[in-house]
Amino acid sequence: MFVTRFAPSPTGYLHLGHAFAAITANEAAGGGRFLLRIEDIDSSRCRETFVEAIFQDLRWLGLSWVEPVLRQSARMEVYGSALDRLTRMGLVYPCFCTRAETAAEIAHAGEAPHGPDGPIYPGTCRQLPVEERLSRTRSGGGYALRLDSARAAARVGQLFFEEAAGHPPTDFERVRVNPVLFGDVVLARKDTPASYHLAVVIDDAAQSITLVTRGRDLLPSTHVQRVLQTLLNLPAPKYAHHRLILDEDGRKLSKREGSAALRNYRNADLRADEIVAMLQRA
Ligand code: GLU
């Protein structure tokens, strides 16, 4: 028995991939508890209508969850204090580089190590003298806060996470963490005061999640998330990264294209149990 969660971002209507993720999380709870979390930190992309639509679509699928639903947008102070804690540990530095500057620097270097999200930040601002850091942060311009991943790695030592060996998740394999897989990840930006990785580890702990189920595309994130959990003294859940539902061309479904939105199926008079059966075959 596990405590699991489904954690969509309300940036569009749920599609078949979300339905599969939600059903998988619910099943994996195995008589434990299935929770819901709305990942709405990025206020420029999230919409209240999509939050309502998430509830409706999940209910239509026949799912129910243990209240309360956790809303990330209401938890900025919690994320802020975790960030302060990491800063006091000397593991965070301000980064003033624009995306264009970083791209130019990487191009100039000729060859840059790549992480799961593309080229790794070259660490330009990590070297800035303290006085320059202070004067630039005080000048009021925007800046990001990055994790000093090498320092963090030294501090946490060798870590592992437990990944389900199959489905349903009964046996688990130990996976060795690569703490610098993403390099110096952004933990906060001026317009989004907490990054996905930071908020997720804090909230998985706050909701007492014991098994994180999510798509395989997020498996690499687990490496950096284990580092953050350890630094913040948070418990480590187990993980079960599941297969993705792909479109006819073998690509991941995206909310932007409205591909396979659940409500289209509902409007076409398909029944939820037909969707569930279809996903099992997909
Ligand atoms: N909010 C993320 C998404 O919509 C999921 C995060 C997670 O499961 O860790 O893809």
**Would you say the CB of residue 214 lies under 6 angstroms from ligand 1?**
yes
Q: What are phi and psi of 122, to 5 degrees?
A: -75, -5
Determine the Cα–Cα distance for residues 141 and 132; give it in Å rounded to an integer. Answer: 13
**DSSP-derived secondary structure letter, 15:** B
57: how many CB neighbours lie within 10 A of its CB? Answer: 24
**Would you say the CB of residue 5 lies under 6 angstroms from ligand 1?**
no
**Would you say the CB of residue 24 lies under 6 angstroms from ligand 1?**
no
Determine the Cα–Cα distance for residues 71 and 203; give it in Å rounded to an integer. Answer: 10
| Residue 47, amino acid | R
**Would you say the CB of residue 39 lies under 6 angstroms from ligand 1?**
yes
Does the N-terminal peptide bond of residue 68 adopt cis geometry, omega within 30 degrees of 0?
yes
Q: Which residues contact 257 (CB under 8 A, 6 or more apart)?
A: none
- pTM recorded for the entire structure: 0.92
| CB 22, CB 4: distance < 8 Å | no
| Residue-by-residue pLDDT tens, the chain, 282 positions | 999 999 999 999 999 899 999 999 999 999 899 999 999 999 889 999 999 999 999 999 999 999 999 999 999 999 999 999 999 999 999 999 988 888 888 888 777 788 888 889 999 999 999 999 999 988 877 899 999 999 999 999 999 999 999 888 999 999 999 999 999 999 999 878 899 999 999 999 999 999 999 999 999 999 999 999 999 999 999 999 998 887 766 777 666 666 678 888 888 777 878 888 888 776
Four-CA torsion 254, 256, 262, 264, nearest 10 degrees = -130
Top mutation candidate among 50, 214, 239 for ligand 1, by most atoms within 8 Å of CB: 214
Among the atoms of ligand 1, which is closest to the Cα of residue 221?
Answer: 9
Q: Whose CA is nearest to atom 3 of ligand 1?
A: 8
Q: Which residues contact 8 (CB under 8 A, 6 or more apart)?
A: 14, 18, 22, 38, 39, 54
Using the mean position of ligand 1's atoms as its centre, give its distance from the Cα of residue 1 in Å.
22
